[in-house]
């Protein structure tokens, strides 16, 4: 840009940046709000803002090749006769059949099983592919009740009552007609090819008392055998955790605002809910106040988990396990640059593609199109996912050993420091170089 003697160099507004202006133009042209998949794209305080301290003179590290660092976790030890026992504390989050292809569900089941962990159904019900290939399958009980089948409740290894999701606490989902194939329509008991909204709240609840009744009902249907999880979006984690536990939950699944979704309004994804980092300590505090942290009720954290470092940080802050959605899809091949030419045709680029609801996913994952689905080989996809889960586990173990821990669950906030004031306040760990963090109260 050349300098002009009578003008300053052109400066774009920080407030009206290119993305904002493009959204205004899109809204003006179409008259409808933007729907998309994925999680929040803006930068919010996250696990990257924390660092592990590692051992030195005052702490004693463990030797990687000789000393073990265990990674197993049991979920649902409170009331269930058969808690879920996992080899690794990384589970596959609930993702709907309808959003995802049957092949993708199979690949998730294969990958999770090979890695010794669980996968989860989603809106739209349980498919044979995922039940058949998932050693441990969590069955979601959702506000929409799409695909809800009492027989499937009894075929599940755990039940997850979905109250909300981090991408859209208080909101519902969308499935556009393009993705309502005959099979999806049949499972959801709805007409083919018509846009569907998933409800934002359960039809038979008006408050936490009804959650208690629902949990009891599900326990009776499943004979008190399997754990009952309650999944909430990151809204008011202290109170939501307290109420879920008081209603009888075995496990609380807490999904922060970076959590992915198959489809909802962009305005929801970017503007509703709290960052994952900000949700963990209040939820842990709630469990500690109830005397149920770790051994009583387990806490599963999700929303933007990408690496073993994220896993270790979530556990150090008090989570028992984490759950991944987006990262699992990327491991299968989602947003792979090898499909760049096709992303370009859709007006986007690899890494930015999020119009999953349109059913044209070049990677063959977020689609019901038979030709596109064939692009995903479920055996290869499963292997890629189990490799990725293995790497994350090894990374978390490496960090834990360096902190002198013989089990991932021995990691603690004391092992961490924060790079920013915001992260220090949210995670309640000292700002690097100090022994201080802002804000003592206020959950």
Ligand X SMILES: Cc1cc2nc3c(=O)[nH]c(=O)nc-3n(C[C@H](O)[C@H](O)[C@H](O)COP(=O)(O)O)c2cc1C
Question: Least distance (Å) from ligand X to the CB of residue 174?
Answer: 11
Q: How far apart are CB 219 and ligand X at their closest, in Å?
A: 20
User: Residue 138 or residue 243: which is nearer to ligand X going by CB?
Assistant: 138
Residue (328 or 402) nearer to ligand X, CB: 328
Cβ proximity to ligand X, 356 vs 437, nearer residue? 356
The least distance separating ligand X from the CB of residue 16, rounded to whole angstroms, comes to 29
Which is nearer to ligand X, 259 or 308 (by Cβ)? 259
Kindly tell me which of 59 and 236 has the beta carbon lying closer to ligand X: 236
- For residue 345, the minimal CB distance to ligand X (Å) is 21
Smallest gap, in angstroms, from Cβ of residue 306 to ligand X? Answer: 8
Select 285 or 335, whichever has its Cβ closest to ligand X.
335
Nearer of residues 46 and 401 to ligand X, judged by Cβ? 46
Select the residue whose beta carbon is closest to ligand X and give its number. Answer: 325
CB atoms within 10 A of CB 373: 18
The least distance separating ligand X from the CB of residue 120, rounded to whole angstroms, comes to: 7
Task: CB nearer to ligand X: give 330 or 417.
Answer: 330
Binding site residues, ligand X, CB under 6 A? 37, 39, 93-96, 99-100, 122-123, 140, 162, 165-166, 231, 255, 258-262, 302-305, 324-327, 366
In the complex, the smallest distance separating the C-beta of residue 327 from ligand X, rounded to whole angstroms, is: 6
Minimum distance from residue 101 beta carbon to ligand X (Å): 11
């Amino acid at each position: 840009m050349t300098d002009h003697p009578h003008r300053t160099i052109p400066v774009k507004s920080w407030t009206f940046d290119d993305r904002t202006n493009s959204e205004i133009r899109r809204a003006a042209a179409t008259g409808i709000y933007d729907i998309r998949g994925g999680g929040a794209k803006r930068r919010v305080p996250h696990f990257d803002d924390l660092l592990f301290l590692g051992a030195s003179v005052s702490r004693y590290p463990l030797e990687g090749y000789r000393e073990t660092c265990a990674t197993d976790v049991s979920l649902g030890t409170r009331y269930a006769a058969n808690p879920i026992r996992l080899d690794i504390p990384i589970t596959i989050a609930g993702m709907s059949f309808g959003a995802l292809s049957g092949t993708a569900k199979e690949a998730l089941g294969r990958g999770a099983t090979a890695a010794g962990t669980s996968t989860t159904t989603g809106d739209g019900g349980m498919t044979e592919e995922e039940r058949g290939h998932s050693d441990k399958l969590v069955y979601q009980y959702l506000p929409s009740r799409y695909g809800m089948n009492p027989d499937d409740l009894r075929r599940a290894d755990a039940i997850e009552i979905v109250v909300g999701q981090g991408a859209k606490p208080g909101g519902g989902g969308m499935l556009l007609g393009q993705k309502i194939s005959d099979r999806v329509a049949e499972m959801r008991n709805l007409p083919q090819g018509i846009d569907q909204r998933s409800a934002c709240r359960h039809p038979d609840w008006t408050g936490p008392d009804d959650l208690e009744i629902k949990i009891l009902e599900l326990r009776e249907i499943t004979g008190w055998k399997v754990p009952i999880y309650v999944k909430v979006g990151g809204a008011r984690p202290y109170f939501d955790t307290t109420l879920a536990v008081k209603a009888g939950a075995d496990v609380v699944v807490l999904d922060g605002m970076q959590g992915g979704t198959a489809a909802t309004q962009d305005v929801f994804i970017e503007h509703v809910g709290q960052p994952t980092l900000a949700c963990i300590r209040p939820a842990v505090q709630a469990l500690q106040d109830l005397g149920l942290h770790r051994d009583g009720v387990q806490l599963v954290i999700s929303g933007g988990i990408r690496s073993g470092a994220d896993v270790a940080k979530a556990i150090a802050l008090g989570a028992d396990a984490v759950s991944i959605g987006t990262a699992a899809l990327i491991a299968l091949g989602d947003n792979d640059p090898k499909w760049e030419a096709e992303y370009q045709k859709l007006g986007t680029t690899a890494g930015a593609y999020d119009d999953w609801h349109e059913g044209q996913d070049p990677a063959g994952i977020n689609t019901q199109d038979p030709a596109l689905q064939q692009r995903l080989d479920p055996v290869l996809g499963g292997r890629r996912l189990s490799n990725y889960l293995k790497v994350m586990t090894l990374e978390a173990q490496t960090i834990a050993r360096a902190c002198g821990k013989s089990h991932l669950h021995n990691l603690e906030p004391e092992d961490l420091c924060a790079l920013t004031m915001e992260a220090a306040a949210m995670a309640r760990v000292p700002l690097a170089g100090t022994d201080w963090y802002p804000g003592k109260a206020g959950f």
